Amino acid sequence: MLGVPGVGKTSLVRRFVDREFDEDYQQTIGVAISKGTLSFDDITLEILLWDYEGAEPGWQYNPSFISGASGLVFVVDVTDSSTLDHLLEAQAKGRGYTGSRPSVLVANKIDLTHDFALTKQQLEKASKHNWFIIQASARSGHHVDEAFTKLGQMMLDARKKSA
């Protein structure tokens, strides 16, 4: 789970794992690890979600933490276009660590539709990356399960290709 502070990384994890949403914002310090379960036909996939503290623009995540990841979830806030700008800048400068890893971009907080600030140009730039892009709301739960399910499916597909 990667993104700048306040985009809702922890809220998305809590909604997926615990089926809860907490209105009180608590900034993650370091990393919080949670376990989620996904089911695909005859396969049950347990995923460890590493919820890193928000990275300020220009800051670089520790590559040793991310190097072993099977997939990445980037989170941006639809009410703050700079959160996507920072992510796209990090990718352009090679700080995103995506490589060939399955990656999902979650545009969070769509329940605040009156404040939607992402532009068509930003979304077009994001679509040029090999990310699955989904709009979601940790508060309402809208598309949260779909985001993690898609990541799980992408990780299974990548594993099949490498076997």
Confidence at residue 95, expressed as pLDDT on a 0 to 100 scale: 53
How far apart, in whole angstroms, are the C-alpha atoms of residue 33 and residue 24? 19
CB 81 within 8 A of CB 122: yes
Note down pLDDT in tens along the chain; length 163 residues. Answer: 888 889 999 999 999 999 999 888 777 777 789 999 999 988 999 999 988 776 665 566 666 667 788 999 999 999 999 999 988 887 777 655 566 789 999 999 999 988 899 998 998 899 888 899 999 999 999 999 999 999 999 999 998 888 7
CB 28 within 8 A of CB 2: no
The dihedral region occupied by 63, where left means phi > 0, alpha psi between -120 and 50, and beta the remainder, is: alpha
The dihedral region occupied by 109, where left means phi > 0, alpha psi between -120 and 50, and beta the remainder, is: left
CATH for 9-162, options being 1.10.760.10, 3.40.50.300, 3.30.1360.120, 3.20.20.70: 3.40.50.300
CB 125 within 8 A of CB 41: no
pTM > 0.85: yes
Query: Roughly how many angstroms between the first and final C-alpha of the chain, as a whole number?
Result: 26
Under DSSP, the state recorded for 10 is H
How far apart, in whole angstroms, are the C-alpha atoms of residue 90 and residue 113? 26
The residue extents of the domains of the chain are 9-162
Element (H, E) at 146: helix 144-162
CB 20 within 8 A of CB 155: no
Q: Report how far Cα 149 is from the mean position of its chain's Cα atoms.
A: 12
